[in-house]
Chain A
Amino acid sequence: MRALLVGFLLIFALPSQAATEDVFGRFQDRLVQVRILEASTGAQTSIGSGFFASANGLIVTNYHVVSDLIQQPTHYRGEIATTDGRRAQLQLIDFDAVHDLAIVQSTLPPRHFFDLHPESLPIGMRLFSIGTPLDLGFTIVEGTYNGLLEASLYEKIHFTGSINPGMSGGPTILDDGNVIGVNVATAGNQVSFLVPAKFAQALLLRARDLPALSAMAAATQLRDQLNANQNAYMQQLIGTPITTMQLGNYNVPGRLSAFIKCWGDSNADPALRYQEVVQQCSSEDNLYVSRTHTTGVVHFQHQWLAARGLNRFQFYSAYQEQFNANYPGMPANKEDVSKFSCHTDFVKSHGVRFKTTLCLRAYKRLPGLYDAVLKAATLNENDRGVLTTLILSGVSEQNALRFSQHYLESFRWKP
């Protein structure tokens, strides 16, 4: 019986292995490694993967693989290397920063190119992800299709397989060579994400006859893409009535949209003489702008504090300490953003009294976009209250103000 089982496993395992080798062998001449080099010395600063996707040599890769060429065009240049060792300078043709895709082109004519397969597949379908992980040479990884990510701001395919750094921009294909998605990210432990092929197809269509993109035009295009993107989801958020959830004796904004996930917890430390319940909600997904700068997050959190035998001064002291705690970071450095400037005042809305602060900082390289932090503390009672923080990263000023108002308007208080 045991011998029979072993036999079965072998029977099932063998064709699969053969297929993987076969897939790699058949398609490796369609793959490239994308290298970003320091312009003056030619030293390699980062690598990614890419693949030929048209007869005239357009190469699909990730925006984040080539973003240095947009952010610091004088400091970096790019080149591609094929599996047979040919190398050539690359030029940026077009990109879609929101879906993390870019189209580049080189003088090397492709021997073959991949076709894109934009339709969805049955879950469990076997896929092959190809790329150059950690600069170890071209590698193929086998995994399974697990459908589109639900509840995400940016549509992605959940791929169960190990995508590692350096494989970004490479294709994930069916065994017939049709590209299902573009490798983009991993959450570790074989949980990886692909950009669906339909976005790459749309970008390819648009880029078909475009000349090389100048750095100046690229910067404008990046801003326009991020601006249009934030406008789309912010308009959706502003236009939808906020569903609230109960937190202590307050009603507070709940899961604002399908793309936002919430987590809750409470603090039961017996040494503390107040009770604390925390709710955190976040769109989780962010957008890569540059090495130092990510954006696109919607995050908010509420803390309900209720005193257990504290006088008003003691309660407000603890309340202040929690209010003062830092906001979750939005990575950016001084070339990317200005400092925060804030406005603070007392506000009353639907019977809820707040101390409210709204802080904004401007994106220096992407004019018209801001990071916004709204903090508010309810001031209705001497021994209970809700602290709330809303973070909107990479939005227009008008959307920041309008949604902040929409957000605070939804609070209710039951004495």
Chain B
Amino acid sequence: MEAVIIAEVLEKSGKVHERCKLTHFPVTLGRAYDNDLILNDPYVSPHHAHIAFNENGELTLTDLGTENGTHCFPQMRPVSSLTLGTDTLLRIGQMLVRLRRPDYAVAPTRIDKRVNNRLATLFSSPATLAILTLLLFSLLGLNSYQSSAQTKTAGQLLLENIEFIVLVPIWAGIWALLSRLFMQHTAYVSHAVIASLGLIGFLSANVAVEYYAFGFSALRSADILFHLLLGLLACAMLYGHLRFTTLFSRRRIGIIAFISAASLVGLSGFTAYVQELEFNDTLAYSPELKPPQFQMTPDKSLEEFMRDAAKISPKLTPRN
């Protein structure tokens, strides 16, 4: 009778340590070298068990009356004789041995999101990088142009932003090096795309917060908003970079990125707080001036303004 059993010796973690195909029965298992399947474990008896057909023609494992016995795992039910099904897990000595028939149904194929990820494809495309670089240059140029009260050529505008333009390739290069070290691929384009997106995000956050500070005459809340946006940006960038640098799960990368960004924001917030405690003679006000169309709160009368301003002096305790 044609019968096949696949015997797998497992590690404690469940990984297969050793696998062999058993086709000719009876088969003997044990520590001694005259066995068909040699189990290298001091708790296994020299001749521990054998697998053979019973009178009904079924493959059966029989313990040979050993000291430590054979147990079904994980229930640890002792076994003297056991008919083998499609999937049997046994503890022999201190070893885990799995016996499976070829008709064992394996789990469906898992989808590799790394391979079949349209976002990852987009991030790795040089065309994306080219478009983002163009966008970044335009934003930097526009920003310089709009904040300049002097006539400037395109070259001067570009030169003003040279540090940003240089920063992106250097930053991407460092991450690419890390990718090369840990993943054997550089993913330079992906890192450069992330860096460009990060810088675009930073510039946008900066402008957005300035307009917010002007529109709402905000000082502290604008500060907090800016720090939160920076934290969010740092978290997103770190997540992206790590996705191309490690094989960690998304969840794990997310946690790492979040904690890093949160500590960064926390540290800068703490530094700002400590500086606030120090004496200085600067005026703590929001100096932003934007075109009047961006004013978001209604005009007050002078009387109302002075009534509100009267709330300043109680804050000036003699101690501070």
Contacts from A to B (Cβ < 8 Å)? 271-274, 310-321, 323-324, 326-327, 329-330, 332-334, 337-349, 353, 355-362, 364, 367, 370, 373, 375, 377, 379-382, 397, 401-402, 404-405, 408-409
Contacts and interface: CB of A to CB of B under 8 A. Distances in A.
Contact of A272 (B147, B149, B291, B309): B149
A375 B284 CA distance: 12
B207 to A, nearest CB: 10
B284 A340 contact: yes
A316 B289 contact: yes
Name the 10 nearest CB pairs between A and B, nearest first. Answer: A334-B279, A348-B299, A318-B149, A320-B289, A362-B316, A342-B285, A317-B147, A324-B287, A313-B146, A357-B285
B308 A340 contact: no
B283 A359 contact: yes
Contacts of B305: 343, 345, 347, 356, 358, 405
B217 A344 contact: yes
Interface string B267-308: 000000000000111111111111110010111111101101
A273 B316 contact: no
Given A312-B291, A329-B281, A333-B279, A347 B300 contact: yes
B148 A317 contact: yes
A338 B317 contact: yes
A103 B151 CA distance: 63
B311 interface: yes
B284 A342 contact: yes
A173 to B, nearest CB: 42
Contacts of B280: 339
B308 A367 contact: no
Contacts of B284: 339-342, 359
B166 interface: no
Nearest to B288: A320
Secondary structure class of chain B's binding surface, majority of residues: loop
Q: Is the interface of A mostly helix, strand, loop or mixed?
A: mixed
Interface of B: 145-151, 214, 217, 219, 279-292, 295, 297-303, 305-306, 308-313, 315-318, 320
A379 B295 contact: yes
A362 B149 contact: no
A313 B288 CA distance: 12
A243 B317 CA distance: 37
Contacts of A401: 306, 309-310
Given A320-B288, A344-B286, 6 more contacts: A314-B148, A342-B312, A345-B297, A353-B292, A401-B310, A404-B309
Given A345-B300, A349-B302, A404-B306, A320 B151 contact: no
Contacts of A347: 299-302, 305
Contacts of A339: 279-281, 284, 316, 320
B306 to A, nearest CB: 5
Given A316-B289, A334-B279, A339-B280, A311 B219 contact: no
B312 A358 contact: yes
Contacts of B300: 345-348
Contacts of B311: 343
A375 B313 CA distance: 17
A396 to B, nearest CB: 10
In this complex, which of A323, A332, A379, A409 has the most chain B Cβ atoms within 10 angstroms of its Cβ? A379
A207 B54 CA distance: 128
Contacts of B146: 311, 313-314, 317
19 contacts: A272-B149, A316-B291, A317-B149, A323-B287, A327-B283, A339-B284, A340-B284, A342-B283, A345-B300, A346-B297, A346-B298, A356-B305, A359-B283, A360-B313, A362-B318, A370-B316, A373-B283, A380-B292, A382-B292
A381 to B, nearest CB: 8
